[in-house]
Amino acid sequence: MAIKKSSQTFIQKSSEWIRKPKKSDANLKDYFKTYQSFRWKSVEKEFDWHKTGKVNMVHEIIDRHAQGARKNKVALYFWDPASTQVYPRGRDEKYTFLDLKKSSSRFGHVLKKCGVKKGDRVAVFLPRTPELYISILGIHRVGAIPVPLFEAFMETAVLDRLSDSQASVIVTNTALKGRVPFEKLNHLKGVILVDELEVSRSENQDNEPACDFCDVYNYFEEMKLASESLEPVWLNKDDGLVIHYTSGSTGKSKGVLHRQYAMVGHLQTSKWVLDLREDDIYWCTADPGWVTGTSYGIYGPWSLGASSVVLGGRFSAERWYEAIQKYSVTVWYSAPTAFRMLMAQGKTLPKKFNLKSIRHICSVGEPLNPEALRWIRAITGVAPHETWWMTETGMHIICNFRSLDFKLGATGRPFPGTYASVVDDKGKEVAPNTLGNLVVKTGWPSLMKEIWKNKAKFDEYFELKGWYKSGDSAYKDKDGFIWFAGRVDDVIKTAGERVGPFEVESALIQHPAVAEAGVIGKPDQVRGHIIKAFISLRPGFSPSDHLKAEIADFVKKNLAAHAAPREIDFRDSIPKTRSGKIMRRVLRAWDQGLPVGDVSTMDE
Ligand code: WTA
């Protein structure tokens, strides 16, 4: 798709500078000097495999520490104050590196009992709990590949991801298992249900067997029986690490497969961008269903032996501030929508909490608008730093660094060892301040290995020779700052999450009243964008608010709540090109009440 001025952004150009902290104690001392001399090879010696030749992520992020001085250091603080049947007072737990070594070994044995072998895919469909993290670590231990699925996914989303990845086992719980259409997933061999026995035996629960043809195991029962030691299955640097499903502008979501070697990128960016140190208490608010929740919720911070906080349950401004105070969080990694949601709750609330422990904040997922940056700085004393990257890049690429002043609104500078630039549609670098395609020179350690079973999709990212094409538009200013401008394609970012319009349209047309549907992202003050659908109805149905609500709810129940349209407009027909492609530029013009231009030319 050709580069165009994007309407999808509310970034404000500014020449205001955000100054670095006065106490200049950042891990990366001199960005410019380092940028000239840094070589990725130099990071390899941080890992045991550099000496042994034996690679496995779980060894480098857990066992290595559990066998050394960090053995009794807390790796994971977990807090979920919500009261449940099994946890009437909520959960408030700590796990040391040694604890995680033992529990992930136990889980490895459970997986082996299910027949899981090296390279197999294991889906993890759980809420943010310690068991989710232990499952992922256990999957690594047996050399298999985790496929983390957002807790919010409904049946269609789960079905698409499980059938594409051909996962042999799924780890889930009684509350979520109803969304797994087992009858359509005959490649599944095992189901592991993470339910406290009280829950699974309770009369109130759904006691239907999860799956007729697979073996069903109870997590806690099996964990009790299993041995707490299990050597990792040794892998090569190039073997699979994790698959994250993510949306593009066309087709269903695709599986981005990363390799074990990505750990080199995770470690170094965690050191220089997140600025993590031995005594930090680090809180990444992202769920492992999203790449931020694995690269920087698991792999990077634990490769450095940092202590991580995980908060369970839904968003609540009060509980977020309380978590910062409770753990004296020092480094905080979150997203603009979250900052704006905190902002919406006002300034009185944060005053009730002590947020002084924070020394560094990073932001990801969408552009951080100046108001949100200023607001977070006002309540914590620390300005959030942009980090731009993608599921496919596996690690931070363009960032503002703690040891550098930066321009308010700028996305940042390339990480040492990477080269990011702006090019025209032929791959030629453009002059400063010219809008173009945001690209990265190929050859950094965490770049995806493949798109699962889809070589053609994978190749599309590399059609400009020597470059990885992000699908974002941007420009570079004279001082070397890159400014994100918007998406070149039709991918929607809502509350930081990537949603493909095709996936939503496919869900919409399953509804009996919907004849055709076209979906776009509509700019929104809090969420960045919301999902807006234009719908034409089948004969016999007439537009009404009731029908709008029913259709939105239908998508919520089948796909996921965050993918459901927040706005629906009914139209007689949906504009399409001759080849049947939805003309989203017309939908955007409709939305903004602008003239649509000449539709009769029907651009292909
Ligand atoms: C957007 C994984 C502006 C961008 C981390 C990118 C951002 C897409 C930023 C990737 C940022 C991410 N500023 N935009 N700091 N970070 N994006 O794979 O459009 O879910 O292409 O993110 O998010 O989405 P993904």
Q: Is the pTM of this model over 0.75?
A: yes
pLDDT in tens, 507-541: 999 999 999 999 999 999 999 999 999 999 999 99
Locate the ligand 1 atom nearest the alpha carbon of residue 491 and give its number: 19
Locate the ligand 1 atom nearest the alpha carbon of residue 295 and give its number: 5
Locate the ligand 1 atom nearest the alpha carbon of residue 290 and give its number: 20
Give the pLDDT score at 3: 60
pLDDT in tens, 128-185: 999 999 999 999 999 999 999 999 999 999 999 999 999 999 999 999 999 999 999 9
Locate the ligand 1 atom nearest the alpha carbon of residue 363 and give its number: 15
- The better pLDDT of the pair 604, 302 is held by 302
pLDDT in tens, 539-550: 999 999 999 999
- Look at residue 598 and tell me whether its pLDDT is greater than 90: no
Confidence of residue 67 (pLDDT cuts 50, 70, 90): very high
Give the integer Cα–Cα distance in Å for 201 and 206.
9
Among the residue ranges 201-205, 230-234, 504-508, 585-589, the one predicted with the least confidence is 201-205
Centre of ligand 1 to C-alpha 365, Å, is 4
- Name the phi and psi angles at 149, rounded to 5: -120, 135
Give the residue extent of every domain in the chain.
Answer: 491-592
Average pLDDT, the chain: 93
Give the integer Cα–Cα distance in Å for 423 and 405.
26
Q: How confident is the model over 90-109, as a mean pLDDT?
A: 98
Centre of ligand 1 to C-alpha 389, Å, is 6
The distance of Cα 307 from the centroid of its chain, to the nearest Å, equals 20
Give the pLDDT score at 193: 97
pLDDT in tens, 262-292: 999 999 999 999 999 999 999 999 999 999 9
Q: How confident is the model over 259-263, as a mean pLDDT?
A: 98
pLDDT in tens, 396-445: 999 999 999 999 999 999 999 999 999 999 999 999 999 999 999 999 99
For residue 301, the one-letter residue type is P
Centre of ligand 1 to C-alpha 403, Å, is 23
Give the pLDDT score at 84: 86
Nearest CA to ligand 1 atom 12: 365
Which residues does 306 contact at the CB level (< 8 Å), separation at least 6? 270, 276, 277, 278, 280, 282
Give the pLDDT score at 12: 45
Find residue 145's DSSP bridge partners: 121
- Look at residue 212 and tell me whether its pLDDT is greater than 90: no
Give the integer Cα–Cα distance in Å for 494 and 518.
16
Yes or no: say if 183 and 155 are a contact pair by the CB < 8 Å rule. Answer: no
- Look at residue 4 and tell me whether its pLDDT is greater than 70: no
Best substitution site from 296, 387, 389 to test ligand 1's pocket, by max atoms within 8 Å of Cβ?
389
Centre of ligand 1 to C-alpha 337, Å, is 13
Locate the ligand 1 atom nearest the alpha carbon of residue 470 and give its number: 21
From 3.30.70.360, 1.20.120.330, 3.30.390.30, 3.30.300.30, which CATH number describes the 491-592 domain?
3.30.300.30
Nearest CA to ligand 1 atom 13: 367
Q: Ligand 1 pocket: which residues have CB below 6 Å? A: 246, 291-292, 364-367, 386-391, 411, 470-472, 484, 487, 493, 498
Centre of ligand 1 to C-alpha 366, Å, is 5
Centre of ligand 1 to C-alpha 527, Å, is 14
Centre of ligand 1 to C-alpha 433, Å, is 21
Give the integer Cα–Cα distance in Å for 90 and 95.
16
Nearest CA to ligand 1 atom 7: 366
pLDDT in tens, 376-398: 999 999 999 999 999 999 999 99
Centre of ligand 1 to C-alpha 388, Å, is 6
Closest CA to 413 of 432, 392, 377, 387: 387
Percent share of the chain, pLDDT over 70:
95
Locate the ligand 1 atom nearest the alpha carbon of residue 412 and give its number: 15
